[in-house]
């Protein structure tokens, strides 16, 4: 399944976080971009991150910006006012507790306010190239739709994948399935007629398809 998706992936529109990661492997940019992406479409996340990083791209530099300036630059991402406060809090925490450096361990990242397992895993995998499995709604939904796992929550999916998925596939699994979900395997009425892994998919929960 992964081999088939990898062969098809170059035809799809890349995810916003993949574009940011391709330009720079800076863990700080990956962390902040991931915060911006929560409950926000990629078409909004990418430009918002670009506007913010054009003004400041380090914890110390971001702290020189007012909350209002950050809000202005990241609008219209979802919950932009809350995210502006979260970003400033993360920057202060990074400087106070980690010397301004984004930690490369999931447990340390989870101590940052506003950082959950999805974000922590993404920073570790994309920012540092270390093993981890980032599970968002796409990865959770598609992994269950394929019949590869049977779980009820993204956290449970992560643990199930850690136990079952070979380690060599961990780092790229999120980006591959997110792009697949955005371009083919939609939540409602997936495009099964053009799906490269249809013969391998159990189509769990699929009631309508294109």
What count of Cα atoms within 13 Å lies in the side-chain half-sphere of residue 159? 6
- The catalytic position among 118, 130, 164, 175 is 118
- The catalytic position among 104, 108, 130, 136 is 136
Catalytic residue at 136?
yes
Catalytic residue at 118?
yes
- Whole-number Å distance between alpha carbons of 4 and 45: 28
- Whole-number Å distance between alpha carbons of 151 and 164: 13
Q: Which two tokens mark 203?
A: 């189509």
Helix (H) or strand (E) holding 10: none
Q: Are 115 and 102 in contact (CB under 8 A)?
A: no
Q: How far is CA 155 from CA 61, 146, 160, 161, 198, in A?
A: 33, 18, 9, 10, 26
Q: Could you list the active site residues? A: 118, 136
């Amino acid at each position: 399944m992964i081999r088939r998706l990898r062969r098809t992936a170059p035809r799809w529109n890349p995810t916003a976080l993949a574009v940011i990661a391709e330009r720079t492997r800076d863990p700080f940019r990956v962390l902040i971009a991931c915060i911006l992406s929560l409950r926000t479409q990629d078409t909004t996340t990418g430009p918002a991150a670009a506007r913010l990083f054009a003004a400041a791209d380090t914890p110390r530099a971001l702290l020189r910006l007012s909350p209002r300036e950050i809000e202005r630059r990241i609008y219209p991402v979802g919950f932009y006012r809350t995210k502006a406060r979260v970003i400033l809090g993360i920057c202060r925490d990074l400087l106070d507790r980690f010397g301004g450096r984004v930690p490369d361990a999931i447990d340390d990242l989870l101590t940052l306010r506003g950082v959950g397992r999805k974000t922590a895993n993404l920073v570790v995998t994309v920012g540092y190239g270390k093993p981890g499995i980032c599970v968002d709604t796409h990865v959770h939904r598609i992994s269950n739709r394929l019949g590869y796992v049977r779980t009820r929550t993204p956290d449970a999916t992560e643990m199930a994948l850690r136990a079952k998925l070979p380690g060599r596939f961990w780092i790229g699994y999120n980006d591959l399935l997110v792009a697949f979900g955005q371009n083919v395997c939609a939540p409602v009425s997936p495009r099964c007629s053009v799906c490269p892994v249809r013969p391998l998919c159990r189509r769990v929960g699929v009631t309508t398809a294109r």
